[in-house]
Structure 1
Amino acid sequence: MSEERTRSAVLFDFGGVLTSSVVAAFEELSAELGGERRLLLRLLSKDEESSALLVAHEEGRIGEREFEDGFAERLRAHGVPAVGEGLVGRMQAQLRPDLDMIALVAKVRADGHRVGLLSNSLGDNCYAGFDLPAMFDAVTVSGEIGVRKPSRRAYAIACERLGARPEDTVMVDDLEQNITAAHRIGIAGVVHRDAATTAAALARLLAPSAGQ
């Protein structure tokens, strides 16, 4: 059965969807610290200790400073003279709001569809400058619920808060593995690359609004 024009709600990721690329930001910091450009990304995804720190932080089991100090130690173990304090801020310094995506969220909502945020949190102030309660019908942040994407439970909680069934929902995320996980509970997915292609994909998936 086709998924086209059957969905009525959208969950949006934050970093890399409502902001500029997280990958590019982490590459810039890697270079700034004197390592090779993919070092931060490689450690956070492949290094067991770094990955464990990230998961613990995103699930709210350790705070920003504990994550910073632990990750700085892993960077030093790989030859990069990193200091923990302020490291998360430096990781986020290159991120900028994507105004086209913020406008798209508003348009989808204005068209009568429910919109929610589902985000893996990083740091104490990663959402600074965004009025999330004003932008979304529901906000779900991993550090507050104790579970992160790609856990099925994270998607289920986000749908419940949004008041939408998974089979009526679309997830927009810049990481393909998070879309694959969303599919497992019946959520349709859009792998975000830019606002124009995401808008086109949502137009194919969302049910017509009143008046269309």
Structure 2
Amino acid sequence: MIEAIIFDFGDVFIDLNKQAIETEFRKLGLTAWHDDLDALNKEYEIGKIDELEFMQGFQKHLPNIELVDIRAAWNSILGDFPLYRLEFLQMIASKYRLFLLSNTDHTHIEKFEHKVGQTFARDFYSCFEKVYFSYEIGLRKPDENAFKYVINNHNLSPKKTLFIDDKKENTDVAERLGLQVWNLIPGTDDVTQIFDKKIIS
């Protein structure tokens, strides 16, 4: 019997346009995604560096590009957040303990809130008992400590907790820790199909 659900954010609730971010950075002159950019992203996602340091890290590869343009390219990954997903969440909020656990950064969250508006963002956040962003807690999936952080903070029973994420590396770790999991496939699955697919009954 599932009592709690831990959701990922990107490609579960908000659609991510990975092609757009690649296209936008190519337009700025970034020919390849360098290893140091990957490391930079991970540092920013756990709050080790601030937004300026992150953007300046990109600027080393794009010396003639303004920070504001780098920021716009970085945010181009954020797609739509359909209203029906929020309504679904509001419908199940009284039946389960809900949590959000997302690998994300300050820039993307600020852009999301601006994009959907304060009311929508507030309605979304209010569905959860607690929202956990990696840049605020200093932990990111698939580090098992990120999962333990949520489980321990709320005395959750792993076997009665469902974790939903679009990345298999994350659901694999959660499963090893004893959680029930759904590795949602973007474009094929939708979070609102949770009952239709018999993920929970």
TM-score band by shorter chain is 0.7 to 0.9
Which residue of structure 2 aligns with residue 103 of structure 1?
A: 87
When residues 119 and 126 of structure 1 are mapped into structure 2, their CA distance, relative to the original with a 3 A threshold, is farther
Percent identity over paired residues:
24
In structure 2, stretches of 5+ residues that fail to align are: none
CA RMSD of aligned residues (A): 2.7
- TM superposition shift of 1:61: 0.7
Query: Cα distance, 1:90 vs. partner?
Result: 3.0
Equivalent residue for 1:200?
193
Deviations 1:102-129 (A, max 9, x none): 222222223x111111011223414413
Q: 2:171 aligns with which of 156, 171, 179?
A: 179
Partner residue of 2:149? 157
What is the aligned length? 189
Displacement of 1:31 in angstroms is: 4.8
Q: Aligned-pair distance for 1:152?
A: 0.6
1:176 shift after superposition: 2.2
Deviation at 1:92, TM superposition (A): 1.9
Counterpart of 1:13 in structure 2 is 8
Distance 1:138 1:161 in 2: 10
Q: Say which of 100, 107, 116 aligns to 2:99.
A: 116
Kept after mapping to 1: 8 A contact 2:105/2:134: no
**Scaled by the length of structure 2, what TM-score is found?**
0.78
Contact 1:59 1:143 (C-alpha < 8 Å) held by counterparts: yes
TM-score (norm 1): 0.75
Please list, as runs of the form range in 1=range in 2, the aligned pairs for 1:40-79 lying within 5 A after superposition: 43=33, 47-74=34-61, 76=62
Runs of 4+ residues over 6 Å off in structure 1: none
Cα distance in structure 2, aligned partners of 1:126 and 1:159: 28
